[in-house]
């Protein structure tokens, strides 16, 4: 029996084998590119590829990135959602790209709803205390952040007084 396929065309068996190989390669790269999961208000450390000199975050309202010595970067969750991080070499070539997903914190919380639009969040580790969380009632949020800021300023002042 002779092969009667047209010159320059792939035989059906070979075409099927190449298609299967392409799917395997695509599946392997999709698994390798799993997103970096970061809880809100927490950080993850990533190792940068060699030759990395620039790191760009897609949406700084979602996450922030800070370069550290020894080829490390810290990604901090700032707001819920997804963004990406690009890692470039000195010539601007992309060495790596990762998706970043900022999710809810994993610590125990209690959420209190007062009607449809008023929400207050408390961290319960083990006792419950006010926690500032995106989406909370603005009055609750502002009062809580004001107390945190005041407390932090007092701690800084007390520390500075001890150094003198």
Residue 163 has pLDDT above 90, yes or no: no
Q: pLDDT value at position 42?
A: 93
Question: Coil, strand or helix: which one is 97?
Answer: strand
Residue 55 has pLDDT above 90, yes or no: yes
Share of the chain above pLDDT 90, in %: 61
Q: What is the pTM of this model?
A: 0.65
Q: How far is CA 22 from CA 18, 35, 78, in A?
A: 6, 22, 38
pLDDT (mean) for 131-151 = 91
Q: pLDDT value at position 12?
A: 61
Residue 155 has pLDDT above 80, yes or no: yes
Residue 139 has pLDDT above 60, yes or no: yes
Q: pLDDT value at position 29?
A: 44
- Is-contact 39 102, C-beta < 8 A? yes
pLDDT tens figures, 58-114: 999 999 999 999 999 999 999 999 999 999 999 999 999 999 999 988 888 899 999
Domains of the chain are: 36-103 (2.60.40.1080), 109-158 (no CATH)
Give me the phi and psi of 124, to 5 degrees please. Answer: -120, 85
Distance CA 79, CA 102 (A): 7
């Amino acid at each position: 029996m002779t092969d009667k396929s047209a010159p320059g065309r792939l035989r059906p068996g070979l075409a099927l084998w190449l298609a299967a190989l392409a799917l395997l390669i695509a599946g392997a790269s999709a698994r390798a590119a799993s997103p970096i999961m970061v809880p809100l208000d927490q950080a993850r450390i990533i190792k940068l590829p060699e030759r990395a000199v620039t790191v760009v975050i897609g949406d700084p309202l979602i996450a922030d990135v800070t370069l550290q010595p020894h080829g490390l970067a810290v990604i901090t969750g700032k707001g819920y959602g997804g963004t990406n991080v690009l890692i470039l070499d000195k010539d601007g070539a992309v060495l790596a790209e990762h998706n970043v997903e900022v999710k809810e914190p994993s610590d125990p919380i209690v959420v209190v709803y007062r009607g449809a639009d008023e929400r207050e969040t408390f961290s319960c580790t083990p006792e419950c205390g006010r926690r500032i969380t995106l989406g909370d009632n603005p009055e609750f949020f502002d009062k809580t952040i004001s107390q945190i800021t005041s407390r932090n300023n007092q701690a800084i002042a007390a520390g500075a007084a001890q150094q003198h």
